[in-house]
Amino acid sequence: MNEPRSLAIPPALDVLSASEPVALFLDFDGTLVAIADTPDGIEVPSDLAARLEALAARVGQRLALVSGRSPGNLAEHLGPVLVAIAGSHGMARTGRDGQPVGTPPRQIADAALARIEAAAAAAGAAVERKAHGMALHYRLAPEREADVLAAAHELAATHGLIVKQGKCVAELVPPGGDKGSAVRAFMTEAPFAGTVPVFVGDDVTDEDGFRAATELGGFGIAVGERPSDSARYHLSSVSDVHAWLNL
d(C-alpha 210, C-alpha 215), whole Å:
9
Count the Cβ atoms, other than its own, within 10 Å of residue 34: 14
Q: Cβ(28)–Cβ(65) under 8 Å? A: yes
CA dihedral 142, 145, 147, 148 (to 10 degrees): 100
d(C-alpha 219, C-alpha 216), whole Å:
8
Q: Name the nearest CA neighbour of 120 among 160, 169, 87, 166.
A: 169
Q: Name the nearest CA neighbour of 202 among 162, 171, 234.
A: 234
Please work out, in degrees rounded to the nearest 5, the angle formed at the alpha carbon of residue 213 by the alpha carbons of 174 and 76.
55
The residues near 181 (Cβ < 8 Å, ≥ 6 apart) are: 90, 91, 102, 208, 212
d(C-alpha 114, C-alpha 148), whole Å:
16
Catalytic residues: 27
Helices 71-78 and 48-58 sit at what angle, rounded to 10 degrees?
110
Q: Name the nearest CA neighbour of 65 among 188, 177, 201, 158.
A: 201
User: Amino acid identity, residue 137?
Assistant: H
